[in-house]
Amino acid sequence: MSKVLITGGAGFIGSNLAKALVKDGNEVVVVDDLSMGQIENLAGLDLEFLEHDVTDKEFMHHLLRRYKFDYIFFLAAVASVADSVERPLETHAVNQEAVLDTLEFIHHDDLPLKRFVFTSSAAVYGNLPDMPKSETTRCQPLTPYAVDKYASERFTIDYEGLYGIPTVAVRFFNVFGPNQNPESPYSGVLSIITDKLKNDEIFTLYGDGSQTRDFVYVADVVKALRLVATKTPKATVYNVAQGGETSLLDMIRIYEKVAGKKLKIKQMPARKGDITKSVADISKIKSIGFKPDWPLERGLRVYWEYEN
Ligand code: UD1
């Protein structure tokens, strides 16, 4: 049994991780200010929930000293790229300063941590045409969100090189599954489609649907997070994806088959800055034992059943 801190643990990916870790008997503490996360995501789980903001330095320092965690999964973030463009200072405080503060507290107090896991995003790759994206592909962070994620990755990795704190960072591609809130227009496309299909409402397709994404089911993401926390040989960054490319139209076709109904679609011009192609090279994380178990159709089937 390990003592684990999940910041942002009431959010989409954090709550799925919390569930898996609790199920395996770990002592889990979740810190979440519920700005994006939802307490219902943690219903029935045997864990300690602290409703708090990770930018509160005193609180974080005290928490780390008190619990002496084995593992820290840093998932708290302003997760919307659009939000970061609107509010760069506020997002910077969460997406970068709070990460650095946490690393610094661990360093200063010489806490006996087994691994600090920082969660970054494929957004760091920007809109360069090089595909598939491997961890050595050029990065082009184009928004405050991407710049902060990229810098926090680097801080995370450097804290092992400079101060001997075991760390690792991951770059998520397009994660889907239960507990993703469909309410914002910037929610993941699959949470929006699920909601529209369920309620027989019209889905707005931006662009012609030929844009591709590397969709990965959240259970595979949870598996990857646990793997990098325990198996990474030294601080580095890993892509977390399925390693396959699917166009939006193909994904919709597969989902309609799974759900047994047609999605009503209204087409609009492509979003400004939308990425036309995205696919990950996942050979690096595979080299430490990752094997995705959830091809798109299987993930969609379980997600649809969960939502209905
Ligand atoms: C995702 C991330 C983003 C990150 C980027 C990095 C999410 C929610 N966003 O953006 O934080 O910077 O990867 O590569 O995970 N779409 C529609 N209709 C909708 C919603 C979306 O047609 O109602 C389209 C979008 O225009 C886009 C595609 O679906 O072409 C996927 O959109 P989305 O799920 O928002 O993800 P990304 O744009 O890949």
Instruction: List, in order of start, the domains of the chain with CATH numbers.
Output: 3-174+216-240 (3.40.50.720), 178-214+243-278+294-307 (3.90.25.10)
Share of the chain above pLDDT 90, in %: 94
**pLDDT by residue (tens digit) across 140-192?**
999 999 999 999 999 999 999 999 999 999 999 999 999 998 887 678 999 99
Whether 134 contacts 281, CB under 8 Å: yes
Question: Is the distance from the beta carbon of residue 206 to the nearest atom of ligand 1 less than 6 Å?
Answer: yes
Q: Is the pLDDT of residue 275 over 90?
A: no
How much distance in Å is there from the Cα of 207 to the middle of ligand 1?
Answer: 12
Share of the chain above pLDDT 70, in %: 100
pLDDT at site 171: 98
**pLDDT by residue (tens digit) across 62-118?**
999 999 999 999 999 999 888 899 999 999 999 999 999 999 999 999 999 999 999
Letter for the amino acid at 240? V
Q: What is the DSSP letter of 132?
A: S
pLDDT at site 182: 84
Q: Which two tokens stand for residue 302?
A: 């379980």
Q: What number is the ipTM of this complex?
A: 0.94
Q: Which two tokens stand for residue 197?
A: 């299909």
What pTM value is reported for the model? 0.97
Percentages of the chain per state (helix, strand, coil), in multiples of 5: 45, 20, 40
Q: How far is CA 194 from CA 25, 177, 180, 306, in A?
A: 32, 10, 10, 11
Q: Is the pLDDT of residue 266 over 90?
A: yes
Contacts of 157 (CB under 8 A, 6+ apart): 167, 168, 169, 235, 236, 237
Q: How far apart are CA 294 and CA 187, in angstroms?
A: 21
Of 119, 121, 149, 189, the residue with max ligand 1 atoms within 8 A of its CB, to mutate for a pocket test, comes to 189
Q: How far apart are CA 194 and CA 182, in angstroms?
A: 8
